Structure 1
Amino acid sequence: MRVLIIDDDPDVADSLGRLVGQMQADVSVVHDATAALRDISDSLPDLILCDVRMPRQGGFDLLPKLRRAAPRARVVLMSAYGSLDTAQRAIDAGADDFLTKPIGRERLEELLQGAAGPQHADVLAAFAPERARFGDLVGQSPPMRTVFGLIEKIAPFPTTVLILGESGSGKELVAREIHRRSDRADGPFVPVNCAAIPDTLIEAELFGYRKGAFTGADQDRSGLIEQASGGTLFLDEIGDLPLPLQVKLLRVIQEGQVQPLGAPRPVDVDVRWVTATLQDLEAAVEQGTFRQDLYFRLNVFTIRLPPLRERRDDLRLLAGHLLAALNERYGPRIRGIEAAAFDLLARHDWPGNVRELENVLERASILSDRDMITAEAIQGLVGASGKAVSAAGYAPATLSIKAETRRLEQLLIRKALEETGGNRTHAARLLEISHRALLYKMKEYGIS
């Protein structure tokens, strides 16, 4: 059992260190944040006791850094000026416990037993604290608090919103939360993935059509824009919208009217526009693949959603939240995640963001034979060093070029299909092969 004590008062820190040392624990005592982080990097502690009030960096400022540096450790904040509000703030910030100094021997023994006992398996509570929730979004990290604040500010206004973020980071959840907090909450929320609809169909899908407008149009059909009237239309991957349609979409946004294919006159619509992309639209404008006037119309208010690697403080909360959802879907089977397994999760860069985390936890919960997600189950999905077992982190299993070519092809095809939401036409374009060749390879490899 290794214990790290962080307190700027040498007398208090040394006294506490001697007391802990009498309990057969390996104790380190430091007096500031820099020394604490250096000590953690040398030897990961099992239990960290950190004072709240210290010069330069206090316990609340240091807490997220301690969590990142020692994800397995139990972190306890302490203060000689304890109060119920301070204790609640500590727990909400992510501390495992809060103690008022001086700390008695009996309470210290309980802490050491807790860190060494079953709880040291780092069982994740399968819920996120209410203060860490923002509708369906979960997070307490500074980047996510910024996002939550922007949503609250813009939601009441009819302003067009552009959400920027990587694939799997939760852009649709942000759009839904904007809708839910707006005065259109009782109206429809219509999500559209522009990259998932073939170019030949997207105009009819968005604008609708009248009977006889084209072969197969045997009845009138309202488009997705008209269906969103009175509510919010969320256009995901707006950067993939074909140029000819960008002109028509701009006209709809400007005039508040949509003209279905084959219709003699336009239809009035009242739509709140929220769009999203993982692309650099400014670069697309310079390259001539995205209209500048449409970009200016969409980019009135921008929300940048951070990737998971920039909000690692939220990993514990997200994992617990996703496990709770999995237990609700499949039955209460998984209690949490072993410490060694969580270490692997904490070291991973998560190129697929929250969606990748959800997929990994779902597969790991199936692979685990116990009621805990084990390191063995996680290692098969993100690797022993936390590197993804994917096309991005491809490592050959053999020296056979023939065998490894087939394996890499399968990884790339699955990744392309995932990136395009299962759209085979767009996946073939990403893979730079023909649509027919993609279908042949999917059949050959048994990919549905």
Structure 2
Amino acid sequence: MPKLLVVDDEPVICQSFTWVFSSPDVEVVTAGTLADGWRKVEECRPDVVVLDYQLPDGSGIDLFDRIRAADPRLPVIFLTAHGTTDTAIETMKRGAFDYLAKPFDLEQMSGLLERAFEAARLVREPGGPAAEVRADLIVGRSPALREISKQIGRVAPLDVTVLILGESGTGKELVARAIYQHSRRADKPFHVINCAAIPEGLVESELFGHERGAFTGAGRRQIGRFEQANGGTLFLDEIGDMPLAVQAKVLRLLQDQTFERVGGRESISTRVRVLAATNHDLENLIAGGRFRNDLYYRLKEVTLRLPPLRDRLEDLPDLAHHLLAQFVRETGRDVSGFDPDVLEMFQRYSWPGNIRELRGVIKEAVLKTTGRVILPEFLPPGFTSQTGEPSAPPAPNGAERPVEFDLAGNIEAMLQAGEKGMYARVVGEVERELITRVLRHTRGHQGQACTQLGIDRKTLRNKLRDLGITLDKVVTDRADPSDD
């Protein structure tokens, strides 16, 4: 019978695994410490281990290392309540099967355990494949970011070419650096070259170097980046902008690790790992004859696709505070945080420039802020109008909203029309009118609106959603008497 060992110091976690996953087909064994966990590993010989990252007597990494030394084929799934990107990458780089943050979804865990048990079965069969090594990124905890982090941990130790795709500003160079830092070449050189930032006629010389007299102005020999990065890693950013003639030479280097300097005949060998990135659709470039098909397939031994910031807005608070702390250190400004309305405005914005744009917005706000908290008025000009201020929704059925809100008259009209379900409609109209008026009075400041309404922010956000009150322009459905 397959055995599952759960090593976690939280009794409720261990009980949950026992209740949910114990069956005639699976035996669940639990432990609460590193010492007890290792004893259970030796005694019951589990097929899969679920291991908490932090235990009372030390780090789960210590037990993981002992397990890997004794049986590198045993799938280990890490759990943590306070995981970071480095933690995720480190566990996956060491060979963990997967990594989940608490609280985890039971359905997700069930599917993960099913794959882990299957991997354990296969590696114990003659000729079976090695257990799948899954890998979890930079700042944030969204599912999309955790998946990228897993892939980083998985590919970092391997000497494979990685193609990183994503919109401009999504952090492609950060991912490349993370792969490098967790690779076996981390103590060797790391060079970055932006193919779009170098004049077309100089790209080849920059990459491969040139001999003296190779072209006008070449007064001395120059060593190129491929030669400088020998033994290390070279990151080719914006590779979609690389000239076709240079693409052919890069392809040859990737195939046999040799090249010649511009104007030279000597064949030079180099051992360099290539990471590449682009925001272009390379398949479209190939169809248009602007990118080599063979180079594309040589680059994409592994492909990582980074999500745009708008698809992982749950990471925005962590990103914003991380960048704020960075700029505070750089500028020496005494700024401690964001007004809640600023973070709400960040959530409403589409961020076409992604993380790069967020960096610019926060840096400008830090430099303009006069107090310790970044307020909406310190954001760049035009940002407020792009994110929007509160507006009232159209009346039901597309009708014009009345100039004056007449509750008694509306109720009487509904009675005469024989309407049903009046309670929900009347309450909804009253709430909509009240919240719209208060938001207009506070000029869209939700914190002040909550104070005047006597409700918390969560309740206000729920009401805005349920009533269809959007925050895309100033409330103008009718004048507020308090403004007169």
The normalised TM-score by structure 1 is 0.56
Counting only pairs closer than 5 Å after superposition, residues 278-317 of structure 1 correspond to structure 2 as 278-317=279-318
Query: Equivalents in 1 of 2:187, 2:82: separation in Å?
Result: 24
CA distance in 1, matches of 2:181, 2:366: 32
For 1:169 and 1:265, locate their aligned partners in 2 and report how far apart those are by CA, in whole Å: 40
Counterpart position of 2:215: 214
TM-score, scaled to structure 2: 0.52
Q: CA RMSD in A?
A: 2.4
SS in 2 for 1:273: strand
Contact 2:85 2:149 in 1 (8 A): no
Percent identical: 45
Asked if the contact 2:376–2:384 (Cα under 8 Å) also holds between the matched residues in 1, the reply is no
1:181-236 Cα deviation digits (max 9, x unpaired): 11100011101100000101111111101112122212211101111111111001
Partner of 1:187: 188
C-alpha displacement of 1:175 = 0.4
> Which runs of at least 4 in structure 1 moved beyond 4 Å after TM superposition?
none
Q: CA deviation at 1:380?
A: 2.6
Letter in 2 for 1:350: W
Residue 130 of structure 1 and its aligned partner are, at CA, apart by: 6.6
Instruction: Report the Cα distance in structure 1 between the residues aligned to 2:239 and 2:198, rounded to whole angstroms.
Output: 12
Aligned twin of 1:227? 228
**How far apart, CA to CA, are the structure 2 residues paired with 1:172 and 1:304?**
13
Asked if the contact 1:204–1:223 (Cα under 8 Å) also holds between the matched residues in 2, the reply is: yes
Q: Which runs of 5+ in 2 are unaligned?
A: 1-51, 56-80, 90-136, 389-484
Q: 1:132 aligns with which of 77, 80, 84?
A: 84
* Structure 1 residue matching 2:193: 3-state secondary structure: strand
Q: What amino acid is aligned across from residue 280 of structure 2 in structure 1?
A: Q
Structure 1 residue 364 displacement after superposition: 1.0
**Equivalent residue for 2:347?**
346
Matched, 1:166 2:118: no
Whole-Å separation in 1 of the counterparts to 2:382 and 2:375: 11
Partner of 1:367: 368
Counterparts in 2 of 1:130 and 1:237: CA distance versus 1, 3 Å: farther
What residue is the counterpart of 1:241 in the other structure? 242
Task: Tell me what 1:322 maps to.
Answer: 323
Amino acid at match of 1:341: V
Deviation at 1:161, TM superposition (A): 0.3
Question: Matched residues in 2 for 1:311 and 1:350: separation?
Answer: 11
Letter in 1 for 2:284: A
SS of corresponding position for 2:192: strand
Counterpart residue identity of residue 339, structure 2: E
The CA deviation string for residues 257-287 of structure 1, in whole angstroms up to 9 with x for no partner, is 1210122211100010100011111111112
Q: Match for residue 382 of structure 1?
A: 383
**Displacement of 1:143 after TM fit?**
0.3
Q: How many angstroms does 1:332 deviate by?
A: 4.3
5 Å-filtered alignment, 1:10-159, equals 131-134=83-86, 137-159=138-160
Encode CA deviations 1:392-446: one digit per residue, 9 max, x unaligned: xxxxxxxxxxxxxxxxxxxxxxxxxxxxxxxxxxxxxxxxxxxxxxxxxxxxxxx
> Could you tell me how far apart the structure 1 residues matched to 2:304 and 2:166 are?
9
Alignment of 1:259-270 (within 5 A): 259-270=260-271
CA contact 1:347–1:385 (8 Å) conserved in 2: no
Q: Contact (CA 8 Å) 2:361, 2:380: kept in 1 or not?
A: no
Deviations 1:106-153 (A, max 9, x none): xxxxxxxxxxxxxxxxxxxxxxx9723338821100000000000000
d(CA) in 2 for partners of 1:355, 1:285? 28
> Take 1:130 and 1:199, find their aligned partners in 2: how far apart are those partners?
47
Partners of 1:379 and 1:297 in 2: CA distance: 43
Cα separation, 1, equivalents of 2:331 and 2:167: 29
The one-letter amino acid of 2:180's match is H
Q: Indicate if the aligned counterparts of 1:344 and 1:378 stay in contact, CA closer than 8 A.
A: no
The answer for the alignment partner of 2:15 in structure 1 is none
Q: Highest relative contact order (Cα 8 Å, sep 6+), 1 or 2? A: 1
Count of matched residue positions in the alignment of Structure 1 and Structure 2: 265
Contact 2:236 2:277 in 1 (8 A): yes
Distance 1:245 1:234 in 2: 16
Shift of 1:379: 6.3
SS of 1:212's partner is coil
Q: Distance in 2 between matches of 1:153 and 1:323?
A: 30
